[in-house]
Structure 1
């Protein structure tokens, strides 16, 4: 059985295998057959992190028949026209190029902190594989060296999330729920269970407000500040709740989080304090 020391040692790839695998993957698009997500980025990251780097290229060789070429770019996504391109899979190459430019011009944590709140309302797109791919990418960047292929993988992941952006329909605002479990219990079950996930999501009729969440149009993306990295979007209670997991009450220092906390003026609110028991702002 592999020891904890061996597992920890293998979290950081020093062989170059992960970068080589990502460069191969970036020649392909994020989907095949019009809707099946490309699982290669997540699979090779998990293989390398679990100490199986030697099998990554062989796995890719066996998976390559399930990959399709990256679609051609059609028109640039910019800091002004990006809302028009949200949820348009035909613009996935445009989105990828946009995030490649952004991560070249700005530190990747800054880009991530700016964009995940904007993309969060469309998290269901691609059966959540966009945000899953982002999570694997961020894990790699936090655990190891920030190489060009790894930063480019974040651009591909964010581009896929943006191109598959799928907001919920306009919903009736139900009575507030105290927590996630209670909110789920209050969502009315849809009568027609036919079709895929996206079709059924469009049949939702109501959802409880979270405590402290300001009313807003659930279909509308977060407003653009006018400059690429101006004031950050307002963080709703669910977003703050997700980031609260970055803060620890059991250790003398808060644990490292997956991204800069949007509710903090520091690069990472999770490392802004060394006092035990410090929690994220409510």
Structure 2
């Protein structure tokens, strides 16, 4: 079973990898033998801390700042990744940003473009930077981080829900193109997870949300990372176009 989840020799890119779910996935991948490069956006302190901590375990990881919504920045990131890792086997699109709680009629163009630009356009841009090479080598894993709100929706989050629903649709469509060439594209749609994004809500909102969950609590990042390990490893070889939902019962599909 250990060999099934072994990532030795695999090279992985994780966006939004300096904290939260992305950092937990980076740590899990390193623990299972992968070489890892992460990107972040203006989060130097957390990125440096993660690199130092994980590199001290014997497998150096690499970090670079990158705005995933900027195509030029993504191209620079891809070139840098090639120099530090070589060919990339696994891409995890974890970079994302929340939208706050803003009614749709108070959402301006800049709000919409920022949320969709990072959560959906960024996922597309980063995937595109590595997908062609995976097709040529006839091996790859793309794992997109969506959200249970792609299915459920939420007031005040039309832009975020639309972006994450787009990630799910993008995942399904791209899986048709990748699977015949050994490139498996899947997504993870977490429920409420104890991260900075969740803690930005009011205590009243958190209490209300917690009461809605059948499991009675919020998740932690270490409960999401194993799903990424499954999809990245040999154990996930039969998954294509799927969205797995560790969400504490918030959405039951």
**TM-score normalised per structure 2:** 0.28
Structure having the higher Rg: 1
TM-score (norm 1): 0.26
The answer to which structure has the higher strand fraction is: 2
